[in-house]
């Protein structure tokens, strides 16, 4: 049950001071923050070279928006979570992928975390489906969890196209962000805060002392890949796992909608499932932290590892959200009625410092209320 707790002004000031800290020090070029409650944005601020109207590349925060569109598509009754992807997209069913289900794609257990798809193929549906046919499995679907930075959501985008007969960018706008007053967020080329690389990487000794390894796993989420989104032509593609351009207030309002379901935008049972039913408890292949994934979101959980899932240490176990590369934060907490978003255009090369910033900011946001 979603409840509302009173916002404490002093705690909000502590949150804003922490958000301002890395901008004032010269590390980050800008950041933007928003708190919402009762369906409305109640706090929004920007620091550095930005205003509250500046838009940011929110990277994997995008995944929640595409999942929210997929929930609606599934509620239409054409497919369900157990439907094999290849039944809808026959070109996908090569190299043993015929057994992969929509549920496994949405839970990142589908087995192709690093499947390649980029310029030259990602511009068209035909090119994307040709790439799917080349993809191979890293493991038997459903048996392991590893975060799929973009590959799984390329599949969701094509599923939306095939099922609805419309571009997934249009479906996200028409069925999710448009009705919420957020406008178009995927496939837009409008101005945004230019993404910048900042800082220096943590040393092997720092990494070993903090997390027990001397180097981080290599994934497609590199500074080079993220800086690509400065190009309007790349933003126009509307990468369904990473390409949204939004304000922090937009994200906070979106998560309020997941708490309140205005105008019955989602079928209630589907929304409850998507925001609260953890279907993936498998440990991450690199960190060992249980995924705690619903169909498209991450739940904070009550195991003391909510900070490892990007929501800080003060939210309730039922809080849900999805963060993005470069330190973007977005979540809602049914226990307080709060939703929160933080955006920055500074890609901190020091992963440890970035993680600590996210944890600190999220923890302060989660603590902004007390029982009325």
Give the pair of three-digit tokens for residue 199.
Answer: 């800082």
Task: Annotate the chain with three-state secondary structure.
Answer: CCCCCEECHHHHHHHHHHHHHHHHCCCCCEEEEEEEECCEEEEEEEEECCCCCCCEECHHHHHHHHHHHHHHHHHCCCCCCCCEHHHHCHHHCCCCHHHCEHHHHHHCCCCCCCCCCCCCCCCCHHHHHHHHHHCCCCCCCCCCECCCCCHHHHHHHHHHHHHHCCCHHHHHHHHHHCCCCCCCCCCCCCCCCCCEEECCCCCHHHHHHHHCCCCCCCCCCCHHHHHHHHCHHHHHHCCCCCCCEECHHHHHHHHHHHHHCHHHCCCHHHHHHHHHCCCECCEECCCCCECCECCCCEECCCCCCCHHHCCCCCCCCCCEECCECCCEEEEEECCCCEEEEEEECEEECCHHHHHHHHHHHHHHHHCCEECC
Mean pLDDT, rounded, of the chain: 95
Q: Mind listing the pLDDT tens digit for each residue in 121-161?
A: 999 999 999 999 999 999 999 999 999 999 999 999 999 99
Q: Per-domain residue ranges for the chain?
A: 6-370
339 in Cβ contact with 257 (< 8 Å):
no
Give the pair of three-digit tokens for residue 188.
Answer: 């837009």
Q: Mind listing the pLDDT tens digit for each residue in 277-307?
A: 999 999 998 889 999 999 999 999 999 999 9
Of 84, 165, 155, nearest to 122 (Cα)? Answer: 155
- Evaluate if pTM is beyond 0.75: yes
| Rounded distance between C-alpha atoms, residue 238 and residue 252, angstroms | 21
129 in Cβ contact with 117 (< 8 Å):
no
* pLDDT above 60 (res 326): yes
Which of 140 and 8 is assigned the larger pLDDT?
140
338 in Cβ contact with 366 (< 8 Å):
yes
CATH number corresponding to 6-370:
3.40.710.10
Please report which confidence band the pLDDT of residue 248 belongs to, taking 50, 70 and 90 as the band edges: very high
Q: What is the pLDDT at residue 1?
A: 44
| Rounded distance between C-alpha atoms, residue 275 and residue 335, angstroms | 13
Task: Tell me how far the alpha carbon of residue 267 is from its chain's centroid.
Answer: 22
Q: What is the pLDDT at residue 372?
A: 52
């Amino acid at each position: 049950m979603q409840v509302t707790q009173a916002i404490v002004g002093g705690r909000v000031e502590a949150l804003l001071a922490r958000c301002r800290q890395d901008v004032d020090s010269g590390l980050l070029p800008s950041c933007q923050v928003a708190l919402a409650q009762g369906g409305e944005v109640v706090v929004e601020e920007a620091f550095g070279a930005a205003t509250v109207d500046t838009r940011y590349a929110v990277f994997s925060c995008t995944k929640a928006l595409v999942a929210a569109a997929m929930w609606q598509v599934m509620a239409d009754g054409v497919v369900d979570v157990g439907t094999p992807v290849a039944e809808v997209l026959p070109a996908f069913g090569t190299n043993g992928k015929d057994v992969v289900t929509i549920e496994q794609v949405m839970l990142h257990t589908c087995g192709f975390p690093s499947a390649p798809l980029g310029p030259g193929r990602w511009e068209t549906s035909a090119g994307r489906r040709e790439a799917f046919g080349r993809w191979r499995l890293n493991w038997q679907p459903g048996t392991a969890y590893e975060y799929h930075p973009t590959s799984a959501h390329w599949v969701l985008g094509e599923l939306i196209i095939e099922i609805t007969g419309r571009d997934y960018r249009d479906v996200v706008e028409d069925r999710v962000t448009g009705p919420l007053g957020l406008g178009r967020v995927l496939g837009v080329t409008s101005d945004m805060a230019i993404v910048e690389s900042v800082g220096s990487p943590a040393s092997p000794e720092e990494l070993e002392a903090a997390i027990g390894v001397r180097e981080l796993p290599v994934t497609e989420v590199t500074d080079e890949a993220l800086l690509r989104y400065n190009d309007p032509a790349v933003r126009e593609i509307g990468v369904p796992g990473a390409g949204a351009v939004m304000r922090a207030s937009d994200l906070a309002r979106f998560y309020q909608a997941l708490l309140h379901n205005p105008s019955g935008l989602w079928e209630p049972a589907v929304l409850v499932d998507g925001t609260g039913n953890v279907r993936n408890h498998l440990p991450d292949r690199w960190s060992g932290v249980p995924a705690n994934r619903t169909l498209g979101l991450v739940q904070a959980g009550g195991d003391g590892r909510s900070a490892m899932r990007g929501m800080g240490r003060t939210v309730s176990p039922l809080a849900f959200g999805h963060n993005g590369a470069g330190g973007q934060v977005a979540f809602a907490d049914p226990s307080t009625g709060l939703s929160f978003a933080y955006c920055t255009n500074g890609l901190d090369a020091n992963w440890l410092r970035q993680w600590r910033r996210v944890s600190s900011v999220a923890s302060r946001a989660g603590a902004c209320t007390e029982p009325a």
